[in-house]
C-alpha cells in the first residue's frame, strides 16, 4: 500500500517513462475509482455488484459528479422533477387500488385474468399434480395445484 491507497490502478494514457526532477509527470493516469472484484458470489451476482459500484462515482473518478448511473450522460427520456405533467387529465392515483382513476386491473378484471392464466397453465397440470403428491411438498403448492385443477373443470 502506497500512502494509504491500495488496489489496482490501470493507467488511462500511460507515458512510457517520466522525465527527471521538475519535468516529471505522472505515468499512472492519475487518481481514479477502481471497481473491486468480489469472489465467492453466486452466478450472476458479481455483475449486479459491478453495476451498483459503477452507479455511484467516487470523488477520485475523473468524470466527477452528475450524469446518470451508466456512462455519465443523462438519459434523454428522463423527465425533470418539477416539469409539467405529460398526462394532465389523469389523476395521481391512477393505477393504485385507492383514490380516483383506473385501478390496478383496469384492462381485465381479476376473474377474467385468473381464468386466462389457469387455462394457459393447464398443460402443465399433470406434472404439477405429480409434484404435489410428493411427501415434502409445501401445503401452499398443493392448494395452488388444487385451485388450477378446479379452474380447468
How much of the chain, in percent, has pLDDT values that exceed 70? 64
Cβ-proximal residues to 145 (8 Å cutoff; 6+ apart), any chain: 125, 128, 129, 131, 132
Report, as an integer, the average pLDDT of 21-50: 73
Check residue 64 and give left, alpha or beta (phi > 0: left; psi -120 to 50: alpha). left
Domain residue spans of the chain = 108-153
CA–CA separation, 84 and 130 (whole Å)? 56
74: pLDDT strictly greater than 70: no
Report, as an integer, the average pLDDT of 79-98: 82
Average pLDDT, the chain: 74
What pLDDT is recorded for position 96?
77
In the chain, the largest separation of any two C-alpha atoms, in whole Å, equals: 88
Residue 133: how many CA atoms within 13 Å on its side-chain side? 6
Amino acid at each position: 500500500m502506497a500512502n494509504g491507497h491500495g488496489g489496482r490502478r490501470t493507467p488511462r494514457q500511460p507515458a512510457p517513462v517520466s522525465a527527471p526532477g521538475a519535468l516529471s509527470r505522472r505515468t499512472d493516469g492519475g487518481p481514479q475509482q477502481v471497481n473491486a472484484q468480489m469472489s465467492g458470489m453466486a452466478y450472476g451476482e458479481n455483475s449486479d455488484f459491478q453495476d451498483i459500484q459503477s452507479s455511484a462515482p467516487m470523488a477520485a473518478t475523473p468524470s466527477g459528479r452528475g450524469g446518470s448511473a451508466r456512462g455519465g450522460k443523462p438519459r434523454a427520456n428522463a423527465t425533470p422533477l418539477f416539469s409539467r405533467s405529460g398526462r394532465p387529465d389523469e389523476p395521481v392515483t391512477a393505477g393504485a387500488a385507492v383514490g380516483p382513476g383506473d385501478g390496478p386491473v383496469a384492462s381485465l378484471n381479476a376473474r377474467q385474468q385468473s381464468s386466462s392464466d389457469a387455462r394457459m397453465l393447464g398443460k402443465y397440470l399433470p406434472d404439477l399434480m405429480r409434484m404435489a403428491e410428493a411427501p415434502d411438498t409445501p401445503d401452499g403448492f398443493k392448494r395452488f395445484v388444487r385451485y388450477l385443477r378446479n379452474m380447468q373443470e
